[in-house]
Structure formats: C-alpha cells, structure tokens
Amino acid sequence: MKSSSALISLTIVDKNHCAIDTDYPLEKGQNLLKNLLINGIKTHSKCGGKAICSHCKIQVISGHQYCNNPVAEEKIHLTKQQLDQGWRLACQVFCLKNISIYLPSHDEI
C-alpha cells in the first residue's frame, strides 16, 4: 500500500534494471527491510532484521551514495564483488534520498 507521507521514494527494478514499480514511500529513519514490509512488498527474512540470516539480500541499483555504508555484518554475508555490485542486506540499509533496488527471488538468494 502506497502512502503520501514519505519524504523519499523507492523504485523497484527488474533484472534488466527497468522500473517495474515506482514511488513507494520510504521513511528516512527506518531501515529498508522495514520500509519494504510497511509498503507490503514481499521480502525474505528469517532473523527479523538482525543481520544473521542474509535472506533479505537486495541490490541497490541507483542511489548508493544516499545509503549508509555496508556494516560489518554485511561484509560477513556478502562478497566484496557483491558489495561492489550494490548487494546489501535490506535490514542494514538506511537511505537519505530516492533509490532503486532489485529484489531477487528466493531462488537467487
């Protein structure tokens, strides 16, 4: 469900980085996983956002510069190549401006 109260917005893209859904509102102080859940976007999570399960992997396609840097736990679950390609744990991502992300299927995680 989309809301008009957001300060920034999220775009979801497909594997080819084409937008498939846009203008999801994001709360700046909330991590990306919680924002996805608030918006009713299906995500994978087994640890409840504690950076343990690594099931919440997403790829930030644009707007990396508006997100916090990867935390130590992400460097455990993601390779340097994945980090360089924008892969993150959604539960550890905080954004300050609009971003677009790719949401992998469960089989891709």
Q: Which residues bind ligand FES (CB under 6 A)?
A: 33, 45-47, 49, 51-56, 89, 91
Q: How far is the CB of 108 from ligand FES (least distance, A)?
A: 15
Q: Which residue has 């460097």 as its token pair? A: 75
Residues 6+ apart with CB under 8 A from 100: 10, 11, 12, 13, 17, 19, 60, 61, 62, 63
Closer residue to ligand FES in complex, CB, 25/49: 49
Closer residue to ligand FES in complex, CB, 21/73: 73
For residue 100, what are the CA distances in angstroms to 34, 80, 96? Answer: 16, 21, 12
Q: How far is the CB of 31 from ligand FES (least distance, A)?
A: 9
Closer residue to ligand FES in complex, CB, 49/70: 49
Q: How far is the CB of 18 from ligand FES (least distance, A)?
A: 26
